[in-house]
Structure 1
Amino acid sequence: MKTRKSSDVATIAIFFAVMLVIHFLTSIVFNLWPVPIKPTLVHLPVIVASIVYGPRIGAILGGLMGIISVVTNTVVLLPTSYLFSPFVENGTIASLIIAMVPRILIGVTPYFIYKWLRNKIGLTLAGAVGSMTNTIFVLGGIFLLFSSVYDGNIKALLAVVFGANALVEMLISAIVTLLIVPSLLKIKK
């Protein structure tokens, strides 16, 4: 039991370190990127860990992803920071819900999709569903909890974000999951 806990802590630490590296690198690259599509990639280790190590470790890593979001939006102020941080102007407890709940769910849904379809299609679908879990619950949360802020124009904002970033994120997640997970599953055995 003690060995398993140590192993789980080590696994979480390694995946969290990868998440931090991805977060910092994408922050730099996408600030220099001249196009409006800036996909979130921090969720990739959460999806992979969910499939390989299960929904508990996936949910913990998803929670850590949510914490990264809260800290980033608290420290680096953008016009949308209040959507993810209750510690900035106009931020509320709803901001914390939007930052945390979808990210925790990213760590759960891919595991069950892959468990249901244990093949390459299942891996691809698990990656895509993991990414869409984030998109649907974040955008849905914004729509439900903050629609009054945009005076009814939030539908246009959500459509733009969904159309551009979500499809790219989903495709990247599906491909990365399909390429990385089989090797990790072999190593784990």
Structure 2
Amino acid sequence: IGPTNATIMHIPVIIGAIVEGPLVGITVGFIFGATSLLRALTMPTITSFALVNPLVSVLPRILIGIVAYYVYKFTIKFTKNVFVSGWITGVIGSLVNTAGVLGMIYTLYGARYAEALGESASAAKTLILTLVATNGIPEAIVGGFVVSAVCVVFNKRKK
């Protein structure tokens, strides 16, 4: 819808990192990022110029796997609750995706991105923050619940 592009593709990255470790999280994150880059090249939109840069499309997705693994390991020690730790990890992993991609877009292409969407260059910060609020927060909430539910199932199967 317009400039928004809600995704759930970060969820397998988070789950892979939790269940199989940071190397799997990094690998799945790389695949997610490479797919985003390839999509930007083969099915371009008015904002694809930003996603053609691997610093925007790939690096943040790799970071999801690293952050998710360590957040889960940290939270499970304190909460001792798979559902709660999974939810926290899902939310934070989702926000890493949102903040990473939109943060890099703002840093590298802020004015150009805003202008591509018909906004003034000075409105870039507001535009990016609006996308965080309208896409990133709902994605994080959904991601938290999906990841936590999957973690509970995997934990039961492991026992």
Q: TM-score range by the shorter chain?
A: 0.7 to 0.9
Q: Which has the higher contact order (CA 8 A, sep 6+)?
A: 2
Contact 1:39/1:168, CA 8 A, preserved across alignment = no
**Alignment coverage as a number of residue pairs:** 147
> Could you say what the CA RMSD is over the residues aligned between the two structures, in angstroms?
1.9
- Name the CA distance, whole Å, in 1 between partners of 2:140 and 2:129: 16
Secondary structure of residue in 2 paired with 1:108: helix
Q: More displaced, 151-160 or 121-130? A: 151-160
Secondary structure of residue in 2 paired with 1:153: helix
Shift, 1:37, TM fit: 6.5
Contact 1:83/1:98, CA 8 A, preserved across alignment = yes
Secondary structure of residue in 1 paired with 2:122: coil
- Name the CA distance, whole Å, in 2 between partners of 1:77 and 1:56: 30
- Counterpart residue identity of residue 40, structure 2: N
Query: Which of 119, 122, 129 in structure 2 is aligned with 1:159?
Result: 129
- Counterpart residue identity of residue 140, structure 1: G
Unaligned runs of 5+ in 1: 1-30, 86-94
Corresponding position of 1:41: 8
Contact 1:61/1:107, CA 8 A, preserved across alignment = yes
Unaligned runs of 5+ in 2: 115-120
- Percent identity, please: 30
- Counterpart residue identity of residue 45, structure 1: P
Secondary structure of residue in 2 paired with 1:79: coil
Q: Deviations over 1:58-117 (max 9, x none)?
A: 0000000001100111111101101111xxxxxxxxx21111110001111111111112
Q: TM-score, normalised by structure 2?
A: 0.85
Q: TM-score, normalised by structure 1?
A: 0.72
